[in-house]
Structure 1
C-alpha cells in the first residue's frame, strides 16, 4: 500500500506542476540575460515565453534537431528559449541531451559524442534478446517494449535504464530550457481523430498526464499501479521504454511489422537452430505458426497473394492430426480471403492467432518441464523458453496492434473528470506523430502563456502538414491561433522561414521546413529520399550534411528570429505602459 506521501502523487489541477513553476521561474533569469546580449531589453515580469518545437521524423528528426539547437546556441538564441518540446524522433535527441545537467553549455562536445555514437554500431541482437526476455514478463507487455529493445536501442546505440524523473536536476537550475515530451492516448485518438484536447498526453521530468484535463501523476510513478489515488505497486519505466513510446510511429504498419518479423526470425534462427530436437512438438508448432501469422498479417495489410503463406501454415498445423480446429479455421479464412476487406483480413489473422495459441501455445514460455532435463541442459533450455515467450507475446501484440499499454494512474480516483479517465485499469499511449507531428496542443495550453513558437518541421512529405493540422485543431477547439491561409505554402518548393501572426490573444508562429529552396535549392526531393524516415542509420558524412542543413535554417534567418522576439517585447512593453496609464488615470 502507499505511504502517506505517495498518496499525493496523483492529482488533478489546471495549473502547472510545482516543479515546472520553479524551473521556469529560474529559467526566466537566464532568458532575461540572453535577451540583453541580443540588445533586447525588458523587465523580468515581461520576459516572453519562447517555445522551440521539434517535429517527428525518426533519426532524421533527431539529427536535425541537434543541428538546430547547435545553431541556436551559436547565434545566442538558445538561452532565450523557455520550453523545448518534441515529438517522436526529436524526443530521442532531447532525452539524450538532458542526461547532462548542463547540456546547453556543453553542446559542442556533446554533438561530437552523439555523432560518434550514431556512427559506431554497439547494438547486439543477443543483448536485445536479454532485454526482451525480461520485459516480456510484464503483464502489460506491448509492442512498445519490443520497439524500445530492438529499434530504439539499435538506432541510439544504447538502452538507457535511467528514468525521466532523473532529468529534474537538469532543469531546476535554469541552465536548460524546460523539456516537454509528447504522446497521445491511442483509444481517444481513434475516437476523435486527434482533434480533441483530451487525446494529448505529456511527459516532463516532474509530471506525466493529460495536459488539457489537468490530470497528472509524478513522473517517478508513471507506469505504477494505482487505485483510488493510492499506490498499489511501484513499477519503473526506464528512458529507453519512454523513447520507444514517444517514437513508435516511424514507419507504416507494414514497415513496422516487417521489422518485427525480421528481428523475431533472426532470434529464432539464432537460438533454436540446434534446440528444436529437445522441445515438445506443440511448442515447435506454436513457434513456427506464430512467425507465419506475421507473414499472413503482412499479406492482409499489403494486399499481396497469401497462397504460399497459407500452404506453409496448414503444413505446420497438420503435424498434429488430433488438433483440427486451427487448420479448419485456416482453410475457412483462406477460402473467403479474396472477399474480405483489409480490416476483415487483419481481424481474421487475429482470430486465427487466438485459436493457434489456444491449441498449440497454451504452455508456451511458461517454463521448463521440471525433472525432465539435467541441470546444464535445463539452463540452456531456460533461455529458449524465454525467447518463445517473447515470440508468442509479440505476435499476439501485432495481431491486436497493442502499443504502449500501462497502468492507468487515475483508475477509480475520486473527483476526477471526465469519468472515462477513471473507468479503465489500462491506458494505451502512442507516438503523437499519429495525431499532429508537432506538439502544438501542449504548448498552447493557456497556463504556459506562450508568446512565440519557433517550429522546426522535420516531417517527411508535406512540410506544412503540422501547422495546417495545428490550425485545424485550434479552430475546432476554440483555441487562439494565427491565420495561416494568407501565405502561399508550396510543399514541393518551400522557403526556409514562414511567419504567422495573429491578434494579441495568440502566439506568433515561425515555421521552418527542414529541406527548402534556400538550404538545398534544386535538390529538395533528393534530400527527402536520401534521409527517409525508416532509415536505421546514416553514414558519418551524411550526418554532418544533415546537421549543416538544419543549422542553416537558423543562421540564414537570424535577423528574423531576433526581430520577432524584439517585436514581442516592445508589444508587451506597450501593453504594460497602457495598463499603467489606465491605472493612473483611474486612481485620479
Structure 2
C-alpha cells in the first residue's frame, strides 16, 4: 500500500500530521436479545435497537420493532463507512416501543469499534443485566478499502477530515405563478454544517445554497416542496412534492439538473454540483505558541532584561536564556477585583517591577481592569493615575439609570442589531451592554483583537483571559469543564490544542474551516462572558456551598457499568473499553433537570464543530494534562460534537486564572498570585495546588500553618528547590495587616490617620461584596491604597523571587 505522508513539526517538536489513510466499511448485524423484561410486566416488550456512530453519520439507524417478545430476534445488518484513525464509538440503544407514550429507553451500549480487526468476523454478547441474564448479541465485520484513501490532518487529539460542498441553485421564475406566495422549498443535508435551507417563492428568481459535509459520509439531499397549488393555481388544496438524492451519485465538478414537479404541468428546476473544499484549516491545531506570541516574547525579553538589571542592580545584563518569565495571575471578584488589580499594578509600577512582567492573566472582575488598560497601547509606560481616576469615576457614580427606559430601549436595539448580523443573543448580552454602561457610560467599540497594538512591540505584558466551557444542561460544572483562553491573538482550548484568531471568535466553523465570518464582538460582550455569573445551575450552587458533590457523582456512576466480560480486550492503545448505561427513572430525570438546567446560559458558535477525536487521543500527553472529568473518556460527549459552547466564569470551578500560565510552552518561572477572595484568602491557591498535583502539572506545594490561616500575612513565597520544573509562586491574599498602622512602607500613621487604615474586608457589613457595583470615593481609595501598599511593602520577597529565578535560569532551567 502506498501512503502519502507529510509532517509539519512545530517548535515544541509536536508534529502536526497530514497523511492519507484507507477508508473501511463496518457492517453491524443486530442478531437478537434475550430476557428483556424491564418495561412490561404482564406481556413481552416491543423492542427495537437504534445505532448511532457520529463519526460516520448524523443519521440514527434503527431495526424493526419485534412485538411482544422478551427474546426479540432481528438479524438486521447496517453499514458504516469509517476512518480507523479516529475514535469510533458506536452507541446501541434498546427501546421498548409504546404507542401512547414516549418509547422507553432500556439500555445504552457504547462499543469501541477499535476492537474489530480488518477482515475479522467479531461476535459480541453484551451482558446488559447479569442479575436477569439480559443480553444482546451483535456481529461486526470490518473491511478495509486500500484503494480509497482519505487525507486527514491531526494533532493526535483532533482530526480534520476532507470536506465537500454541494452547491444548489433553485430557479423559481418559471414556476412562481403556480405557487402560493407563502409556499416554500426546504432542502436538507443531514450531517452538513448548514443542515437545512429554506427558500420562499415570493423572493427572487434564482436562489443558491451551499451544504458543507464530510466527503466520505456520502449523505443524502432531501427536498420538500410545500404549499404548491395544482392546476395553475386554480385548485386551492395544498399539496407537496419531495426528492431524495444520494450525493455519492455526483462526480466532483459535475453539474446535475434535477426537476421537482411544482404542479401538473410545471416543474421546479434545481441545478446541483459538488466540489472539494480546500484542506487548509482556519483552526490552528497544535500546542505550540502562535507565531505572533513568539514574536512578542522575543521583543518583550529585551524589555524585561533591562528592567531586571535596573531593579536588581545587576552589574551585567542578562543573556536571553537567563531572563525569567514572570506573570501576574489575577482572580475574579467583581468590582473588588477590578479595583484591587489597579492598586497592585500601581504598586508594581512604583517598584519598577511592572516592566519585568511578561504575562497578565485574569478572569471575571480582574478582566475589566485589563480590558480598560489595553485600550492604551503604552499603558504600562505611563503613570496609572488616569485609568485609575476613570475607574473611580464610574465606580462612584449613581447607577440608578442603568435600567432606565431610555437605556432599556438602547439595549434592545443593540441586541436586535446583533441578531441581524447572525449572532445568537441571550440574557448574557443584556448583562454585557448593562456592564458597558456601568464601567464606561458610553458605547465602547474596542475589540479584543485591537489589543494587538498594545503588545506588537513588546511594550506591555501580554494579557490572557480565562473562561470555562461547560455543558449547557444536564451536568454540573464540577463534573465537566474545559479551560478556554483568550489573548489578543488567539482563542483556544488548552485540552484540544485548537485555536482560532481572536477576530474570528463568534464566527461559524466546520471541520476546522471558517464557514461564515461574523463581525467581531465589542469587548463588553467578552467582559460579560468572562464574568458570566448568569449561567449557574442549582448543582453548581450546591457544590459551592458544600464543597463536594460526592453523593451526586456516586449516583451518576452507579448508572454506568463495564461490560467487558466475555472477551479479552485488544492490546491496542486506542482501546477505551465498552460500557453500558442504565437509563434514568422519571424521578431521577426530573431532579437532574431541575439541578443542572442553565436557564440563562449564553450560546456561542463552536469553532470545534465537526472535528473528530483521534483514535489515541486519550493517551496523548497534552490531552492528559487537562483531562479531569469522566466525560473525557467518552468522545461522543465532548465539545467537537456540540453545535455551540457555553462559557462561564472560571470561579464556578476554581477562582483562578492560572491555567494559561501553566502551559509548558509558556515556560513561566514566577507567578505573582493576586487573590481577591474575602472569606478564605488561601482557598483558590490551595485548590490550584491540589488540581495541579492531580493533573501532574508542576506547581509548588502549598503548605500553610494554622496561624497563617487564622492570621494571614500580606505575602507568601512558595518555592521548591528540589522541583525546579514548578514555578515560584508569590501569593498576595487580600488582607489588611500592617496597612492598619502604616500608610506607606516604613511610614507610620498618625493618630488622626488611623481611620484610613480601616478597610472592612470581611463580614456581611463589608462594602466590597461581589454584587456591590457602587463604592463611595473613600471606600474606593481605601481598597486601592491597601493593595498598592501590600505590593510595595513586600518588595524584598518579590526581589528575592526574581533573584532565585535568575539563578535557576543560569543553572540551566528551561
TM-score for both structures, normalised by structure 2: 0.50
Matched, 1:513 2:796: no
| Cα distance change of structure 1 residues 152 and 346 upon mapping to structure 2, 3 Å threshold | farther
Contact 1:165/1:205 (8 A) holds in 2: yes
Matched, 1:77 2:353: yes
- Report what 1:559 is aligned to: 796
| Cα distance change of structure 1 residues 508 and 492 upon mapping to structure 2, 3 Å threshold | same
Question: Equivalent residues in 2 for 1:255-334 (5 A)?
Answer: none
- Where 1:85 maps in the other structure, the secondary structure is strand
- Once the two structures are TM-superposed, the CA of residue 524 in structure 1 deviates from its matched residue by 4.5
Structure 1 residue corresponding to 2:390, chosen from 113, 117, 123? 113
Matched, 1:411 2:609: yes
- Report what 1:462 is aligned to: 680
- Report what 1:18 is aligned to: 291
- Report what 2:319 is aligned to: 43
Distance 2:461 2:800 in 1: 21
| Cα distance change of structure 1 residues 447 and 189 upon mapping to structure 2, 3 Å threshold | farther
- Report what 2:437 is aligned to: 153
- Once the two structures are TM-superposed, the CA of residue 108 in structure 1 deviates from its matched residue by 2.6
Question: Equivalent residues in 2 for 1:115-264 (5 A)?
Answer: 115-121=392-398, 123=402, 124-135=407-418, 140-187=424-471, 199-235=482-518, 236-249=520-533
- Where 2:533 maps in the other structure, the secondary structure is coil
| Cα distance change of structure 1 residues 405 and 60 upon mapping to structure 2, 3 Å threshold | same
- Where 2:731 maps in the other structure, the secondary structure is strand
| Cα distance change of structure 1 residues 202 and 141 upon mapping to structure 2, 3 Å threshold | same
Distance 1:190 1:512 in 2: 37
Contact 1:153/1:240 (8 A) holds in 2: no
| Cα distance change of structure 1 residues 135 and 489 upon mapping to structure 2, 3 Å threshold | farther
Distance 1:146 1:208 in 2: 23
- Where 2:809 maps in the other structure, the secondary structure is helix
Larger radius of gyration: 2
Deviations along 1:391-441, whole A, 9 cap, x unmatched? xxxxxxxx7424231111111136776753321111111111112111122
Deviations along 1:153-172, whole A, 9 cap, x unmatched? 32443443322011111111
- Once the two structures are TM-superposed, the CA of residue 50 in structure 1 deviates from its matched residue by 0.4
Matched, 1:543 2:761: no
Runs of at least 5 residues in structure 1 that lack an aligned partner in the other structure: 258-339, 351-398, 580-588
| Cα distance change of structure 1 residues 433 and 348 upon mapping to structure 2, 3 Å threshold | closer
Matched, 1:571 2:791: no
Deviations along 1:108-164, whole A, 9 cap, x unmatched? 322223322433458444433432444466563233212212245324434433220
Matched, 1:428 2:711: no
- Report what 1:438 is aligned to: 656
- Where 2:324 maps in the other structure, the secondary structure is coil
Distance 2:772 2:342 in 1: 17
| Cα distance change of structure 1 residues 4 and 341 upon mapping to structure 2, 3 Å threshold | closer
- Where 2:471 maps in the other structure, the secondary structure is helix
Contact 2:394/2:439 (8 A) holds in 1: no
| Cα distance change of structure 1 residues 437 and 486 upon mapping to structure 2, 3 Å threshold | closer
Matched, 1:497 2:780: no
Higher strand share: 2
Contact 2:511/2:609 (8 A) holds in 1: yes
Contact 1:7/1:231 (8 A) holds in 2: no
| Cα distance change of structure 1 residues 15 and 108 upon mapping to structure 2, 3 Å threshold | same
- Where 1:529 maps in the other structure, the secondary structure is coil
| More off after superposition, 184-193 vs 145-154 | 184-193
- Once the two structures are TM-superposed, the CA of residue 17 in structure 1 deviates from its matched residue by 1.2
TM-score for both structures, normalised by structure 1: 0.69
Q: Which has the higher contact order (CA 8 A, sep 6+)?
A: 1
| Cα distance change of structure 1 residues 487 and 433 upon mapping to structure 2, 3 Å threshold | same
Distance 1:233 1:169 in 2: 26
- Report what 2:103 is aligned to: none
| Cα distance change of structure 1 residues 188 and 140 upon mapping to structure 2, 3 Å threshold | closer
- Once the two structures are TM-superposed, the CA of residue 62 in structure 1 deviates from its matched residue by 0.4
User: When the two structures are aligned, how many residues end up with a matched partner?
Assistant: 445
Contact 1:251/1:534 (8 A) holds in 2: no
